[in-house]
Structures are given as C-alpha cells and as structure tokens.
Amino acid sequence: MTDIIFYDTEFTTWEGALDRDWSGPNEYREMVQIGAIRFDLDTLEEKEEFLVLIKPVKNPVVSDFFTVLTGITNAEVTKDGLSFPDAYAKFIAFTEGDPTSCYGWDAKVMRENLGFNNMPATESEFDSHNIGPWFFDVGASYGIVKGKTNSGKLAATLGAPMSSIQEHNALHDARSIAAAYRFLLQKGAKSPF
C-alpha cells in the first residue's frame, strides 16, 4: 500500500446536539461536507485533494450553530451542494479503491447517511480505518486526549506545521490528520498501516 485517503466530514448539528448524541427531535447527522486528501505513505506528502458540499434533506436548512462552527452557509449549500448519492459517488471515485482512514466516527456517520439514502450501509460496504485509537495511544504523551482533541485540532495539539487553520472544515481537518500522522512518524512512532 502506497496511498491512503485521509478524510473528514461535517454534518448537521445544533447547540447541545453533541451532548445529546443527536437524540433531540429531528436531529440527524446529515452530511454537509466531505473533505479528503490522497496521502503517500512512503513520502508522507499530500498528492491530491477532494472537497464537496452536500445538500441535507431531512434538515435542508443548516442551523446558525452549524454555520458559526464550520463557516458553511445555507447560500453555499444551496448553490454548490450535491445530493448525498452524487457526492458519495464522487468521493468513492476519488478514492480509486485506495483504503480510507478517518479520525473517530466519520465512517459511522457515512454509513448512517448511506442508510438515510437507501444505499448500502453495512461496515463491509463502507469499510474505513479509524486512526483515532492509534492517536490516543501514540499521541497521548503529546497531549492528544480522547473526547477533547477533534480532528481539526490534532496538528495544533502536536505542534505539527500546517499552512492554514480552519477547524471544522472537512478538508482542513483531513489535512490536520495527515500532518499529525506525519509528525508522530517523524518522532519514531510505528505506522498503523
């Protein structure tokens, strides 16, 4: 394996939804953005990027809380958003069959969205490596704490260099995963791949 796809997602949310685990009335984790990079595991460099906006259906108007958190507006979603099936097809085409890796629950949320759209939703039909446990183990001595360090904060927590900071933007967060991974490997950590 030479390349891996590090990806991240942004999905509908409201004030307190995280604490409620999206159990409030009409709270669904509908994807609004998928960001990904193709990362060369040999050179530890980014080769290609992917970013797509998605129009949620169950809650077609994103909350003000979501917009403040992500910077993504309803106008942008309306203008540039694709249906989830179309966005997912573009994402899968981007992967070109390379393995995918996320930090945390993004694979679960992807499967939820597949289910919302009557598409295959089992783990075997969308399999993705969760690099989170590796970060919690290897990165613990550097300050990475489960439940306190989201994907967008990984690089900053480690002091790993990044050219821009835009936490809760899926492409930035995918790059943060890659920068943190690179940093730990350069410090001598053993790769989980």
How many percent of the chain have pLDDT more than 70? 97
Tell which wins on pLDDT, 56 or 156.
Answer: 56
CB 5 within 8 A of CB 100: yes
Rounded-to-integer distance, Cα 130 and Cα 132, Å:
5
Structure tokens at 142: 């550097």
User: Which residue type is seen at 119?
Assistant: M
Residue-level pLDDT at 123? 65
Q: 87: phi > 0 → left, psi -120 to 50 → alpha, else beta; which?
A: alpha
Rounded-to-integer distance, Cα 191 and Cα 88, Å:
28
Choose the CATH number for 3-186 among 3.90.1280.10, 3.30.450.40, 3.30.420.10, 3.20.20.150.
3.30.420.10
pLDDT tens sequence across 155-189 = 988 888 887 778 789 999 999 999 999 999 999 99
Q: The whole model's pTM is what?
A: 0.94
Residue-level pLDDT at 99? 96
CB neighbours (10 Å) of residue 115? 12
Residue-level pLDDT at 127? 85
pLDDT tens sequence across 103-162 = 998 999 999 999 999 997 666 678 899 999 999 999 888 888 887 889 998 998 888 888
Rounded-to-integer distance, Cα 111 and Cα 107, Å:
6
Residue-level pLDDT at 124? 66
pLDDT tens sequence across 3-48 = 999 999 999 999 999 899 999 999 999 999 999 999 999 999 999 9
Q: Pick the closest to residue 27 from 9, 10, 13 (CA basis).
A: 13
CB 176 within 8 A of CB 153: yes
Rounded-to-integer distance, Cα 143 and Cα 120, Å:
37
Residue-level pLDDT at 1? 67
